[in-house]
Structure 1
Amino acid sequence: MIEYENDSVWMEFSIEGFQRIECPDNWSESLMDDPENYLVAADLSVSTTPAMAETEMNEIIPGFTVSFGSNWLGFTGDGKRINEIRTPVTYNCLDGSEELPWEIGPGEEARGLVVFEVPDLQGEVVYRPWYLDGGGWSWEFDVTQSSGA
């Protein structure tokens, strides 16, 4: 949940789960930073309130963008920081019907996948948006039993 100045809630989100995926027809896996890496998708559910329209944040960036790469960090199962988890393949792998929309406006609900490129099937992702001054959320994932798309 994200609150703003007057303690009004303007967004709630959750990760419903993680799954290992493969790109359809393997067309974009050539864009992976390392061919030994895996693609892991987080299933996000996002709901914004009409109060979002009244925030200074909405004036800076109309609509809420959860997919933006620099807001996400990744760690391997043994705690090592992953340099980049939102790589070119993660933006191009899925068709638009599966992805979380890029912009979610005030009073909207959306659900979709955000894809990460990771070296391990176990680890942690952190969502740390720039406007929270270092705050954020983290989720552990383990897709060792997931067979891919």
Structure 2
Amino acid sequence: MFTAVALLALVLSGCSAPADSTEPAPVVSVEPAKPSPSSTDGQRKENDHGNLVKEINQVASIGAETHADSSLKFKVTSIEMHDCPAFPDMKPANGHMIAVALEIQTDKNMVDQLGTNSVSFDSHYWKGYASNGSRMNTVTSDKAYNCVQDRTELLPDSIGPGEKVEGLVILDVATKSGTIAFSFPGQPNGWEWQYGKPSAV
């Protein structure tokens, strides 16, 4: 993972000019590199979508080169079909509801490392892929948003520095099996997990 670069100073001194006429050294600002996802053991395993492939309960992080130094760590603890037991007549808009359970932890360095004081795992930041690799048009729907009667089961809308949370994200996917991917806004890649049985349709 890339680390943020604050300032790069280039000091230019005139060799032939008198000492009292030396001009102040110019300072060149370099845009901080955007942090990219890290892998569990330092070995990056990317798929064709450019995402890091993750297993259930495998830690992901962002902010620094290693998990230990990263200000945001999280893992998907389960991905299960969700039939909206509180609303049995509610049918998925896209095909199938799945409940993604996550554990997320941030520390006080999140603002310095990520340049923000809050992050979100909202369903709008997820993508879905069928088993044949075709991308789903969307994994969000009003029905998925309203599928849980007890909304305390859902992750909070935003997560700040020094917080630890657990909760669900409900996705409305097109197929019973495939992969789901998450990435933060502005990031070119993220993380991806398999769900369902590969032989299912």
Is 1:63 aligned to 2:133, yes or no? no
Structure-2 separation of matches of 1:68 and 1:142: 18
The answer for unaligned runs of 5 or more in structure 1 is 145-149
Aligned residue pairs total 134
Change (3 A) 1:81 1:75: same
Separation in structure 1 between the aligned mates of residue 111 and residue 166 of structure 2, nearest angstrom: 20
Distance 2:185 2:82 in 1: 28
SS at 1:124 equivalent: strand
| Residues 1:26 and 2:88 aligned together | yes
- Aligned partners of 2:196, 2:132: CA distance in 1, in Å? 12
Equivalent residues in 2 for 1:1-149, closer than 5 Å: 1-3=61-63, 9-23=70-84, 24-26=86-88, 29=90, 32-34=92-94, 37-55=95-113, 57-58=115-116, 62-69=117-124, 71-94=125-148, 95-132=150-187, 134-142=188-196
Contact 1:20 1:143 in 2 (8 A): no
- Matched residue, 2:23: none
Q: Percent identity?
A: 24
| Normalised TM-score (structure 2) | 0.60
Where relative contact order (Cα < 8 A, 6+ residues apart) is larger, the structure is 1
The amino acid that maps onto 1:17 is S
- Kindly indicate which of the two structures has a greater share of residues assigned to helix: 1
Q: Is the 8 A contact 2:63 2:114 kept in 1?
A: no
Q: TM-score, normalised by structure 1?
A: 0.79
Runs of 5+ consecutive residues of structure 2 not aligned to the other structure: 1-60
Per residue, is there more strand in 1 or in 2? 1
CA distance in 1, matches of 2:76, 2:104: 9
The answer to whether the 8 Å contact 1:65/1:103 transfers is yes
CA RMSD of aligned residues (A): 2.3
Query: How many angstroms apart in 1 are the aligned matches of 2:145 and 2:163?
Result: 22
